[in-house]
Structure 1
């Protein structure tokens, strides 16, 4: 479906349900409570919230400054979703923003300025910090979740892209 859909696979019976989304879907995230799937839609500048229980789809529009969301990640308590707005593709300007979505209310509640070409995003296991790769600036921004502010910028190698978080007691859950 031209990368503009998602497939839901029921493991128990192998049933595959294709769901058209109407936009280029580069990334998917699932909340830890297994209630929602989120899909970033690059060209339509929105995020899809899909309810795993009833199949309801909610389209969450991003702010007018959005250039093209890529990676997204939910906090461990399944209350907030962080969306890296990369831009650059399809002739769009590069972005330096991360959007925070209130999951229960399905709306953007904050915009956080980070480095140029925000791409990868991951949340710490304790839910206190968010890490965002800034591909052009060659940095990783560290966002403090309670204050919704960048508290540190870490210089890294050239062109950081995806990112993972490892914690001492055994890695990603």
Structure 2
């Protein structure tokens, strides 16, 4: 049996060791935001806990889209003018390599629990399916004109594509890679997202100044007016609100999904584009193209709490926050 003094000594050592580990281990609780900067050809990595840029990673020419994989600990960037996909090591914050794409990649999406990356090829009007194990293209499908935003359903069975110049959404069967149906929405659909359960699809219509709320089972559509020249949309995991960037109003519209109306307008930086909701901190991150910043919004108050300087022409199109793996 240990003497009391020895027990105390061991407890103190254990506590000290635990503290040292905590102080030397990277803060993973809140995750990281990966912001594409189109004019400076790089990606700013924001530590959400610290609310600051901790790394700037060079990528290909004119980076736009982002897709993250916690499973692979990698981040994928579409370089629209470089005609390539850049891969970033999410553990080391390092650029690994670029893979050429015979086209102009914009929107990116990774199927849940898979090694498949979908790429929207803007000028060739097609979707590419890429195996992340070797970055080889497996299949492709031609769809509507100027595909932009894309997202995979939670069960991985469907891919939703916003065809900007066709004014519709293509719904693709991911197993057969065929178009199941099309849904006509507003004018120039661009950004889109799904509710956490996949039952609602939210589509931003740039020229209509609206958001289409689409029931993915019935196809029923409700339309909500937002700000001027809306671009992208993020959903609160509680399922109550969506947040829409308005590029010509420098605002974010807060839409109450149940009421089907805009209930608040939040002033952010100049020409806001990409937007994402961070669940751990209940914050909204907005990339501002003109200001070269990211605005941080407290979702509980709908107030901007920080402005983080990034690179030139920040876009961050897609799901750009890599959540920590628990």
Give deviations 1:34-93, integer Å, cap 9, x for gaps: 421111101110011112235441342233xx2200111111111111111113xxxxxx
User: Whose helix proportion is higher, 1 or 2?
Assistant: 2
Pair 8,34 (structure 1): closer, same or farther in 2 beyond 3 Å: farther
Q: Does 1:78 align with 2:149?
A: no
**Hey, what's the Cα distance between the residues in 1 that align with 2:107 and 2:173?**
18
Pair 168,73 (structure 1): closer, same or farther in 2 beyond 3 Å: same
Q: How far 1:17 moved relative to its partner?
A: 3.6
Which of residues 75, 79, 83 in structure 2 aligns to 1:4? 83
Structure 2: segments with no counterpart, 5+ residues: 1-60, 62-80, 240-278, 283-320
Pair 168,11 (structure 1): closer, same or farther in 2 beyond 3 Å: closer
Which of residues 110, 135, 159 in structure 1 aligns to 2:206? 135
**Between Structure 1 and Structure 2, how many residues are aligned?**
163
Structure 1: segments with no counterpart, 5+ residues: 88-94
Q: Which secondary structure state, in structure 1, belongs to the residue aligned with residue 105 of structure 2?
A: coil
Give deviations 1:100-132, integer Å, cap 9, x for gaps: 111122222211100000011101100101000
**Hey, what's the Cα distance between the residues in 2 that align with 1:134 and 1:73?**
16
Equivalent residue, structure 2, for 1:22: 102
Name the larger-Rg structure. Answer: 2
Pair 164,15 (structure 1): closer, same or farther in 2 beyond 3 Å: closer
Q: Does 1:165 align with 2:244?
A: no
Q: How high is the TM-score relative to the length of structure 1?
A: 0.82
Q: State whether residues 46 and 59 of structure 1, in contact with CA within 8 Å, keep that contact through their aligned partners in structure 2.
A: no
Equivalent residue, structure 2, for 1:92: none
**Hey, what's the Cα distance between the residues in 2 that align with 1:140 and 1:102?**
24
* CA-based RMSD: 2.3
